Amino acid sequence: MKKQLANSAIAIFIISVLFTSCKKDVMEENEEEVITTMKLTFVPIGGGANLEFSFDDPDGPGGSVPTQQAIVLAASKTYNVTVQLLNKTASPAEDITDEVEAESNAHRFYYTPSAGSNISVAGLNNDAVGIPLGITSVWTTGAAATGKLKVTLRHYPGNPPDKANADAVDSPKSGTDIEVEFDTTVQ
């Protein structure tokens, strides 16, 4: 009888080991990036000084109030713009832009100028399959005006991600990694 119980216990142990070792690997969800800083660098086409404007929350969500600069651009000018994202809660600060670029098929920047801001955004760089990514873009200003411009980074989960050209900034297929609304002045 003892031998039967011992054999049963061994059989159960072997079955449980085989069952757990044969379990399919489940793809882990992509961890959300910690983004504390967004920098926009403007290079004027045709010459002029480069400009940089930023949103900075070095201690991350909660805690201290973030600082944010207003974007001030010249009228009737075109700029090549690059966005950079940082995680300043890490030491040294981690450049999250590299991760966004490496996972370009799962990320997309949206640039939404308010009506009357006299800023248009086009020429976003694309991911490997031709869908906008937006780490780089081209901004064109019109006549003098004030307004706002929202920069939103959306993350498309899934394997493969279901990102498409027609996706709106509020697509239910994606979630917001960071969204910053800058005051803008064209002068």
Is 86 domain-assigned? yes
Secondary structure element (H or E) that encloses residue 14, with its range = helix 2-21
Is 22 domain-assigned? no
Mean pLDDT of the chain: 86
- Distance between CA atoms of 161 and 167, rounded to whole angstroms? 12
Render pLDDT for 77-101 as a digit per residue (tens, 0 to 9). Answer: 999 999 999 999 999 999 999 999 9
Is 156 domain-assigned? yes
The closest alpha carbon to 88, from 64, 110, 53, belongs to 64
* pLDDT score at 32: 64
The closest alpha carbon to 54, from 74, 88, 84, 79, belongs to 84
Q: How many domains does the chain have?
A: 1
pLDDT, average across residues 129-154: 97
* DSSP state at residue 34: P
Contact assessment for residue 137 and residue 124, using Cβ atoms and an 8 Å cutoff: yes
Q: Is the pLDDT of residue 132 over 70?
A: yes
Is 170 domain-assigned? yes
Q: Following DSSP, what letter does each residue of 142-153 receive, concatenated?
A: -SSEEEEEEEEE
Range of the domain at 91: 60-187
Higher-confidence residue: 16 or 175? 175
Tell whether omega for the bond before 58 is within 30 degrees of 0, i.e. cis: no
DSSP-derived 3-state class of residue 2: helix
DSSP-derived 3-state class of residue 9: helix
This prediction has a pTM of: 0.81
Give the count of alpha carbons within 13 A of 61, CB side only: 6
Is 159 domain-assigned? yes
Is 135 domain-assigned? yes
Q: Is the pLDDT of residue 46 over 80?
A: yes
Is 108 domain-assigned? yes
pLDDT, average across residues 111-127: 97
Q: What is the CATH number of the domain that holds 104?
A: 2.60.40
Q: Is the dihedral of CA 124, 136, 33, 105 positive or negative?
A: positive
pLDDT, average across residues 6-13: 46
Q: Is the pLDDT of residue 23 over 50?
A: no
- Distance between CA atoms of 147 and 72, rounded to whole angstroms? 11
Q: Is the pLDDT of residue 176 over 60?
A: yes
Render pLDDT for 57-83 as a digit per residue (tens, 0 to 9). Answer: 988 778 889 999 999 999 999 999 999
